[in-house]
């Protein structure tokens, strides 16, 4: 046998790591220099293509073949084709638009973006075990994604897909039981982080269908996810931070986004390396007075910090934007882990309240006992000068002034008495109309930046949360306006292209003009939100008759 590990050894690794709670090996860990060479070569336009491949043979044999190959004459792409099964890029749905009515099209599309249970984890690829059928977002996203799943479920519930919605939740529950949390996506390379915790809200959706016994059934999983987000909290002293928890100087706790690794994301390798190397080049030009030894130390520190900031920002579920950029312009300088995100902390409060409700149902007398004391949410996150909720910079100990749709999350939940929330919502409505409302809906960030990922883009998920929050807090007129603009944009693009997209240009009311990836077509969360909004409109029309 050629140099390298046998498939049996890889299986033993996977079994051992599962038992010890350690990550499954990702493609970068399995293939080392081959992984770096492929990702750096540009033979695939999308970095995610290679890490979604499945090997045709023992990974150890592949490594041996690559080590012994003459790199001067090697056709790298042909080597990959010979040794791996390559997914379609961009993915082909083999589905042609036939319906003029968008709702009917979405209903027919469920079977197209449905995937069957994947069986046991296969070390020949990166796809994690998925014991039940599931819906993928679409496009380059060929696996379950945590954040998108909630908004997909809204559509499944509306469409009365009564088996698929529980299946989706049970897949996520299985992940909590296996790993202690829900990974960003169901691939080995996503296991270093989670995303904004919508699991408790998924349980609420299911409880609306099947009754309150659902809360009791899924309580252990909710508590385990909560423990993941609060890991290390008990050992923190005031002013300290560990992974996803920050303890403020007054002794209370808040949360931040955090990724376990400080290397390029496997699924965005080329883009991440380009950003970081550009940042290092800028840094070295400015730090000419440093010794060579100090330069190297500083460069290593900068590289690690920036990769972690980039990876951690992906936990938000939204595109990168000036929200995370120190200068509000460029990815070259980021501060994600220094920021206490308003959306994450609003959802943590929601998680605590749902857990308390479930505990109460099983007879716990003090259902909030054991849940950490938190600072007054409005003291930290409400910016009275702006009239809007913003993030908080815990190192600088000050409110931030960046207007993003993350500031609409708190209006969806019982953060304080409803009357007080209604007053704040009235002020926030003025901010939305002035800063974020465009002809096709709401943009995610107020300011544009140098990143190609940031533009006048609208996402279904953030439209939905904004609409729900505004309706809940007495701003129904603006909520209806956003809903109408967004749905009209979805319908117009569908009639022109036959597609439902991950994101839309809400200024130009068009398909986004960006060149990072092919347009993401599918699209689970967009489908779900459209159906849910249409149902809301129908219910309102029925009520007004």
Q: What is the pLDDT of residues 2-31, one digit of tens each?
A: 444 444 344 444 433 333 344 578 999 999
3-state secondary structure 456-471: CEEEHHHHHHHHHHHH
Q: Report the distance separating Cα 421 and Cα 351, nearest Å.
A: 19
Angle between helices 292-313 and 269-286 (to 10 degrees): 140
The string of DSSP letters for 47-112 reads THHHHT-EESS-HHHHHHHHHHS-TTT--HHHHHHHHEEPPPSS---------SSHHHHHHHHTTT
Rounded to two decimals, the pTM is 0.92
Q: Distances from the Cα of 225 to the Cαs of 166, 379, 457, in angstroms? A: 18, 26, 31
Assess whether pLDDT exceeds 50 at residue 408.
Answer: yes
Long-range interactions of 274-278: CB distance < 8 A, separation 24+: 275/306, 275/310, 275/331, 275/332, 276/303, 276/306, 276/307, 276/310, 278/332
Q: Look at residue 544 in the predicted model and tell me its pLDDT.
A: 66
Q: Where are the beta strands (DSSP E) in 275-350?
A: 339-340
Is-catalytic flag, 319?
yes
pLDDT reading at 248 higher than 50: yes
Output phi, psi for 246, to 5 deg: -125, 130
Show me where the domains of the chain are located: 7-85
Cite the DSSP H helix spans in 117-245: 146-158, 164-179, 199-210, 213-229
530 has a pLDDT exceeding 70 = yes
Residue 43: is its pLDDT beyond 90?
yes
pLDDT value at residue 120: 75
- From CA 508, how far away is CA 490, in angstroms rounded? 13
Decide if pLDDT at 199 tops 90: yes
Which H helix or E strand runs over 254? strand 253-255
Comparing 32-36, 54-58, 191-195, 290-294, the range with the smallest average pLDDT is: 290-294
Question: Within a 10 A sphere around the Cβ of 156, how many other Cβ atoms?
Answer: 25
- Say whether 416 is catalytic: no
* pLDDT (tens digit per residue) in 327-358: 877 778 899 999 999 999 999 999 999 999 99
Which candidate, 261, 49, 13, 266, places its Cα nearest to that of 121? Answer: 13
Residue with tokens 């010794």: 291
Over residues 501-529, mean pLDDT: 79
Q: Which of 143, 271, 502, 521 does the annotation list as catalytic?
A: 502
Q: Which of 359, 366, 315 is nearest to 339 (CA)?
A: 315
Instruction: Determine the pLDDT at residue 272.
Output: 94
Mean pLDDT of 71-95: 83
Q: How far apart are alpha carbons 345 and 90 in whole angstroms?
A: 36
**Average pLDDT estimate for 53-65:** 94
User: Among 97-106, 223-232, 233-242, 306-315, where is mean pLDDT lowest?
Assistant: 97-106
Catalytic residue chosen out of the listed positions 319, 352, 446, 505? 319
pLDDT class of 515 with cuts at 50, 70, 90: very low
pLDDT band at 127 (very low <50, low <70, confident <90, very high): very high
Residue 453, pLDDT above cutoff 90: no
Q: How far is residue 337's CA from residue 134's CA, in Å, rounded to a whole number? A: 32
Report whether pLDDT(110) > 50.
yes
Q: Give the C-alpha separation, 34 to 281, whole Å.
A: 26
Query: What percent of the chain has pLDDT above 90?
Result: 70
Rg (CA), the chain: 23
Cα 357 to Cα 154, 203, 350, 367: the distances in Å are: 22, 12, 11, 7
| Whole-Å CA distances, 397 to 246, 250, 392, 394, 439 | 12, 12, 7, 5, 36
Confidence of residue 437 (pLDDT cuts 50, 70, 90): very high
| pLDDT tens, position by position, 262-294 | 999 999 999 999 999 999 998 888 877 778 888
Q: Which residue has the tokens 């000419």?
A: 288
Element (H or E) spanning 437, and its range?
A: strand 437-438
Average pLDDT of the chain to the nearest whole number? 88
Structure tokens at 451: 């990143």
DSSP state of 433: I
Please state the rounded mean pLDDT for residues 147-169: 94
SS3 content of the chain, % helix, strand, coil (to 5): 50, 10, 40
Q: What percent of the chain has pLDDT over 70?
A: 90
Residue 184: CB partners within 8 Å, gap ≥ 6? 145, 146, 147, 190, 193, 194, 195, 314, 315
Confidence at 442, pLDDT banded by 50, 70, 90: very high
């Amino acid at each position: 046998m050629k140099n390298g590990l046998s498939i049996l050894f890889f299986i033993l690794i996977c079994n051992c790591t599962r038992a010890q709670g350690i990550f499954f090996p990702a493609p970068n860990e399995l293939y080392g220099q081959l992984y770096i060479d492929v990702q750096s070569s540009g033979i695939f336009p999308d970095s995610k293509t290679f890490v979604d491949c499945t090997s045709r043979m023992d990974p150890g044999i592949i490594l041996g073949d690559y080590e012994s190959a003459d790199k001067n004459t090697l056709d790298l792409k042909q080597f990959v084709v010979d040794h791996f099964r390559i997914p379609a890029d961009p993915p082909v749905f083999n589905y042609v638009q036939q319906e003029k009515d968008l709702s009917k099209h979405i209903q027919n599309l469920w079977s197209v973006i449905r995937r069957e249970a994947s069986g046991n984890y296969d070390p020949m690829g990166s796809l994690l075990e998925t014991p039940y059928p599931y819906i993928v977002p679409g496009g380059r996203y060929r696996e379950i994604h945590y954040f998108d799943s909630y908004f997909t479920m809204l559509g499944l519930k509306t469409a009365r897909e009564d088996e698929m919605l529980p299946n989706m939740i049970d897949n996520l529950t299985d992940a909590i039981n296996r790993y202690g949390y829900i990974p960003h996506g169901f691939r080995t390379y996503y296991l270093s982080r989670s995303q904004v915790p919508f699991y408790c809200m998924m349980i609420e959706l299911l409880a609306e269908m099947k009754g309150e016994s659902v809360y009791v059934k899924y309580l252990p999983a909710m508590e385990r996810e909560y423990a993941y987000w609060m890991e290390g909290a008990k050992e923190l002293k005031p002013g300290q931070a560990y992974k996803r928890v920050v303890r403020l100087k007054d002794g209370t706790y808040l949360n931040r986004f955090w990724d376990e690794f400080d290397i390029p994301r496997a699924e965005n390798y080329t883009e991440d390396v380009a950003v970081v190397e550009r940042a290092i080049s800028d840094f070295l030009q400015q730090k000419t007075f440093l010794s060579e030894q100090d330069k190297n130390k500083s460069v290593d520190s900068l590289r690690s910090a920036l990769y972690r900031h980039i990876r951690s920002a992906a936990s938000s579920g939204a595109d990168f934007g000036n929200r995370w950029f120190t200068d509000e312009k460029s990815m070259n300088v980021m501060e994600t882990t220094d920021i206490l995100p308003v959306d994450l902390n609003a959802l943590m409060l929601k998680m605590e309240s749902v857990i308390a409700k479930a505990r109460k149902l099983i007879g716990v007398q003090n259902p909030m006992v054991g849940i950490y004391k938190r600072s007054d949410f409005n003291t930290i996150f409400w910016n009275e000068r702006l009239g809007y909720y913003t993030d908080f910079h815990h190192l600088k100990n000050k409110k931030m002034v960046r207007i993003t749709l993350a500031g609409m999350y708190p209006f969806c939940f019982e953060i304080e008495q409803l009357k007080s929330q209604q007053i704040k919502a009235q002020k926030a409505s003025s901010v939305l109309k002035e800063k974020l409302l465009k002809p096709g809906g709401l943009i995610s960030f107020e300011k544009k930046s140098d990143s190609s990922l940031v533009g006048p883009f609208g996402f279904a998920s953030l439209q939905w949360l904004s609409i729900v929050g505004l309706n809940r807090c007495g701003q129904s007129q603006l909520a209806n306006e956003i809903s109408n603009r967004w749905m009209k944009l979805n319908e117009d693009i569908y009639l022109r292209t036959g597609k439902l997209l991950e994101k839309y240009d809400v200024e130009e009311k068009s398909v986004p003009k960006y060149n990072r990836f092919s347009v993401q077509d599918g699209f689970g969360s967009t489908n779900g939100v459209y159906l849910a909004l249409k149902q809301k409109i129908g219910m309102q029309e029925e009520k007004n008759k």
